[in-house]
Amino acid sequence: MIARIILGLWFAAVIILAFALPMSAHPSRWYELPVIPGLEEKARIVFFHVPAAWLSTVCFVASMVYGIRYLRSRSLESDTKSAVAAGLGFLFCLLATVTGAVWAKFSWGTFWNWDPRQTSIFALLLIYGAYFALRSAVEAEEKRATLAAVYTIVSAAIMPFFMFVVPRILASLHPQPVLSVQGKTEINTMMLALLLASFAGFTALSLWIWNIQVRIQRLELKQTPVFPGG
Amino acid sequence: MFVLGTTTIILFSIGGEGIGADVLSGMLWVVIFFSSMSGLSRTFVSEEERGTSLTLQLMATPAAVLGGKLLFNIVLASGLNAFVVILYFLLIAEFVLKTYSIFVLTIVMGSIGLAAAATIIAAIISKANTKGTLFPVLSLPILLPLLIAVIKLTSMAVEGVAFEEAMDEFQFLVAYIVVMVTVSYLLFDYIWKD
């Protein structure tokens, strides 16, 4: 209960700060955000778009890991966890796509232009879509779990190709990753702190939703008789 | 029949207008994609429908079944694609190649890649309830990197790029095929023995 209130307050603070903090060309006071040339006020999307995109891939990996666990242990619990993670990942993937498209409309002048980043997130959306189409097409629980696990592993094996081939074939207009290894100068401490706070909030929120969903599914699993009519 | 149908539709939609080589090389792979989607999806479904899959499970090891199906799909895809390419050359006069070596290797490796991805997806859908419609849905995301690479290679062949410059893309195709075959080999046991 207390954790829930803290999470709510945390997110409220992140949202207010993300929109309220002033931006200046030469941030001198601790609360000022730097102006990134070419992005200006539109840079504020980074606090929501980047964590969502990050979580959509993390959830995908989590779904794959629980898929592997299912294939090893054959316990439906793992399959439930895998499916719930995929559902969450799909939600965040949609959020990242939509916020990215709206941002692109104002930055690039069009909602969609097949930028490499857009192509790879489109592929991720397709994979999630195919995953749920597969799950809905199989009735028997154990068969469904096996097929879904196999499909996540196959598609996870394909993901590196998207990261490798797509950026090489098409030039990207997407802003560079802010948290890159080289250590960027464009971002200051306040911006980094807020971004990390948003990351923490998003991660805690998704863990919480995931936990609730898994518990609900577990109860439903208990309610349905294992041998119907028997 | 399917190949003939799509090529005719493309010819009608072009309507005698001059059209870029890029678009033509893209459309070649659209025809190939859809014709393989209808052909390669039958691999395991036919076994399930005729009720022969149980016997196969008893008689052969999963690796042997997968290998046989994979080889069959490679032969089928190569034959299908050869047919598509011949038809495409005959019917579309604007489609002129400059680097034949790139094109031939692209078709061969594209066929192998298509067959490798299609085999594992076909094994998955043969256990599902709605078999026909699910196959394109599941294979499109898996085939997307392959399609992007082969379309790029085909337009290279049309533009007349030297063979050495296309090596990166071929390495990519080899990596794709190796990953697909390895993953299929590792996971096939789980699907097959259900």
Token pair of A133 as six digits: 């189409």
Annotate B77-108 with b (16+ C-beta within 10 A) or e (fewer). Answer: bbebbeebbebbeeebeebebebeebbebbbb
Q: Which of B149, B151, B148, B154 is nearest to B172 (CA)?
A: B149
* B118 and A CB contact within 8 Å: no
pLDDT value at A230 more than 60:
no
Q: Which residues 52-91 on chain A approach chain B with CB closer than 8 angstroms? A: 71
Flag if A154 and B140 touch (Cβ within 8 Å).
no
pLDDT value at A180 more than 50:
no
In a domain, A136, yes or no: yes
pLDDT at residue B15, as a whole number: 63
Residues of chain A contacting B175 with CB distance shorter than 8 Å: 161
Phi-psi region of A23 (alpha: psi -120 to 50; beta: other; left: phi over 0): beta
Percent of chain A topping pLDDT 70: 83
- The rounded distance, in Å, linking the Cα atoms of A78 and A70 is 5
pLDDT value at A24 more than 80:
no
- Expressed as residue numbers, the domain containing A71 is 47-174+184-216
Q: What is the total count of domains within chain A?
A: 1
- The rounded distance, in Å, linking the Cα atoms of B36 and B33 is 5
Least confident of A167-171, B49-53, B59-63: A167-171
Residues of chain B contacting A154 with CB distance shorter than 8 Å: 120-121, 142, 183-184, 187
Q: What is the total count of domains within chain B?
A: 1
Comparing alpha-carbon positions, the chain A residue that sits nearest to B131 is: A137
* The model's pTM: 0.84
Tell me the pLDDT tens digit for each residue of B97-152: 888 888 899 999 999 999 999 999 988 888 887 766 788 888 888 998 898 889 88
What is the arithmetic mean of pLDDT over B160-177?
Answer: 85
What is the arithmetic mean of pLDDT over A19-34?
Answer: 74
pLDDT value at A183 more than 50:
no
pLDDT band at A43 (very low <50, low <70, confident <90, very high): confident
pLDDT value at A228 more than 60:
no
pLDDT value at B6 more than 50:
yes
Residues of chain B contacting A146 with CB distance shorter than 8 Å: 190-191, 194
Percent of chain A topping pLDDT 90: 24
In a domain, A37, yes or no: no
Q: What integer best gives the mean pLDDT of chain A?
A: 81
Place of tokens 């033509």: B24
Phi-psi region of A32 (alpha: psi -120 to 50; beta: other; left: phi over 0): beta
Kindly list the distances between the CA atom of residue B162 and the CA atoms of A101, A166, A201, B153, B159, in Å, as whole numbers in the listed order.
38, 22, 52, 11, 9
Least confident of A115-124, B18-27, B161-170, B174-183: B18-27
In a domain, A225, yes or no: no
Phi-psi region of A74 (alpha: psi -120 to 50; beta: other; left: phi over 0): left
What is the arithmetic mean of pLDDT over B45-70?
Answer: 83
- The rounded distance, in Å, linking the Cα atoms of B77 and B113 is 10
In a domain, A190, yes or no: yes
Strand partners, A23: A33
pLDDT band at B35 (very low <50, low <70, confident <90, very high): confident
- Expressed as residue numbers, the domain containing B66 is 2-193
Least confident of A146-150, B70-74, B162-166: B162-166
pLDDT at residue B18, as a whole number: 63
* A169 and B CB contact within 8 Å: yes
pLDDT at residue B115, as a whole number: 92
Least confident of A97-101, A129-133, A174-178, A218-222: A174-178
- The rounded distance, in Å, linking the Cα atoms of B96 and A174 is 36
Alpha helices of chain B — where are they, by DSSP H?
Answer: 2-14, 21-40, 42-50, 53-59, 62-91, 100-126, 131-159, 167-192
pLDDT band at B174 (very low <50, low <70, confident <90, very high): very high
Whether residue B173 contacts residue B116, with contact meaning beta carbons closer than 8 Å, is answered with: no
pLDDT at residue A50, as a whole number: 85
Residues of chain B contacting A149 with CB distance shorter than 8 Å: 190
pLDDT at residue A181, as a whole number: 42
pLDDT value at A22 more than 80:
no
pLDDT band at A176 (very low <50, low <70, confident <90, very high): low
pLDDT at residue A89, as a whole number: 92
The angle that helices A76-107 and A189-223 make with each other, rounded to 10 degrees, is 140
